[in-house]
Chains A and B, each alone.
Chain A
Amino acid sequence: MQSSDPYQKMITALQNAKPAPADAAGLTNSIIEAIEKEKVSKQKSRIYYLFRNVTVSAAAMLAAVFLYQTFLLGEEQSHTKPGIAINVEALEKPAFIDRENLVQSLITYIIDQKTARDKFKRQFQDYTFNNINQR
């Protein structure tokens, strides 16, 4: 039923008039293109973030190991085989840090980007709690 109220008539007319974009497919493509670009830049920034962390953490860890082995261990101990987690003969003495293991874990970390951050954190924590904090 047609309304005689001009307001209602106008509203009905406006409801029925459905504008459409001139190039709907082009618009869809531009949206998809934009999100694809965003995906790539997100991946790039994630990789950058991971590597940035690797660099900073690795540098800090290596510096810590160097200082630890240079200044905290006695001469005799530092000439013994590095990398033994616990000094069996003197449990009260601080343990050694395995440099090779450390480097290896960093390499693994870089290769396996997906789980790298968590793994690195875990390993770092393991070193800290299992080795350094033993004393």
Chain B
Amino acid sequence: MQNGWDTELIERCRNGDSNAFRELVDNYQGRVYVFAFRMLCNEEDAKDVVQETFIKVWRNLSKYNTALKFTTWLYKITANCCYDHLRTGKRRKQHVEIEQVKHACEQMLQSNMEQKIINEDLAAVISQLTNELTPKQKLVFTLKELEGFEVNEISAITNLSPEKIKSNLYLARKTIREQLEKM
């Protein structure tokens, strides 16, 4: 269920109102970008996915079922775009220096969380930690651990059964722990 403001905005978008759609993009672009960045570990790829996602949203707003939470539907589209990027290897290759990753990791693990980490370092860390994961494991891990979704929400986003989500998550966690130990 959405709040009244969202419903009204979506309705305006459905009627072809570009200004309403701009508002919608402004409101949700950040979340979509963060999710795409965590999935693809590349700024340009994440931007491509943001653009792709919102164009798909615009095209399919008439099919959107308002019984489903808008963010769930939005994440579903974003997840599909990211998943396609991961599966088809459309991603831009990024060279990661192991020293850079170690340094960024140390920086992140320090108790001072106030310190800001730059996108490039963050991408290097996530990329290093998750490069052994399958696209499905990465998707489930990102949604659960980094985006904070519950299993039932992940199920709605990915169309995976709760059992599959749990098994993918288990394997992802195990692999990441091993990666962390190596570092």
Which of A's residues lie within 8 Å of B, judged by CB? 2, 6-7, 9-22, 24, 27-28, 30-32, 34-36, 38-39
Q: Smallest CB-CB separation from B125: which chain A residue?
A: A14
Q: Smallest CB-CB separation from A6: which chain B residue?
A: B180
Does B1 sit within 8 A of A, measured CB to CB? no
Q: Are A27 and B180 closer than 8 Å at their CB atoms?
A: no
Whole-angstrom CA separation of A22 from B109 in the bound complex:
25
User: Given A7-B176, A14-B126, A19-B122 in contact, is the A32-B22 Cβ separation under 8 Å?
Assistant: yes
Which of B's residues lie within 8 Å of A, judged by CB? 16, 18, 21-22, 25-26, 29-30, 33-34, 37-38, 43, 46-47, 50-51, 54-55, 58-59, 105, 108-109, 111, 113, 117, 119, 122-123, 125-126, 129, 145-146, 148, 173, 176-177, 180
Partner of A15, one of B46, B47, B146: B146
Tally inter-chain residue pairs, CB-CB below 8 A.
91
Which 8 residue pairs across A and B have the least CB separation, nearest first?
A: A13-B108, A19-B37, A19-B119, A31-B54, A35-B58, A28-B25, A17-B117, A17-B122
Q: Are A18 and B34 closer than 8 Å at their CB atoms?
A: yes
User: Given A32-B18, A32-B21, A32-B25 in contact, is the A11-B108 Cβ separation under 8 Å?
Assistant: no
Q: Smallest CB-CB separation from A13: which chain B residue?
A: B108
Whole-angstrom CA separation of A30 from B55 in the bound complex:
10
Partner of A14, one of B46, B50, B108: B108
Q: Smallest CB-CB separation from A5: which chain B residue?
A: B177
Helix, strand, loop or mixed for chain B's interface? helix
User: Given A10-B109, A11-B145, A11-B146 in contact, is the A36-B30 Cβ separation under 8 Å?
Assistant: no
Chain A residue numbers with a CB within 8 Å of B146 are: 11, 14-15
Chain A residue numbers with a CB within 8 Å of B21 are: 32, 35
Min C-beta distance of B134 to chain A, whole Å: 19
Chain B residue numbers with a CB within 8 Å of A6 are: 109, 180
User: Given A7-B176, A28-B22 in contact, is the A34-B46 Cβ separation under 8 Å?
Assistant: no
Can you list 5 pairs linking A and B with CB atoms under 8 Å apart?
A10-B176, A13-B113, A19-B33, A28-B25, A28-B26
Min C-beta distance of A112 to chain B, whole Å: 20
Min C-beta distance of B154 to chain A, whole Å: 16
Partner of B58, one of A11, A15, A19, A38: A38
Chain B residue numbers with a CB within 8 Å of A11 are: 145-146
Q: Are A21 and B33 closer than 8 Å at their CB atoms?
A: yes
Min C-beta distance of B138 to chain A, whole Å: 13
Q: Are A28 and B29 closer than 8 Å at their CB atoms?
A: yes
Min C-beta distance of A91 to chain B, whole Å: 49
Q: Are A24 and B51 closer than 8 Å at their CB atoms?
A: no
Chain B residue numbers with a CB within 8 Å of A36 are: 18
Chain B residue numbers with a CB within 8 Å of A22 are: 43
Q: Are A20 and B108 closer than 8 Å at their CB atoms?
A: no
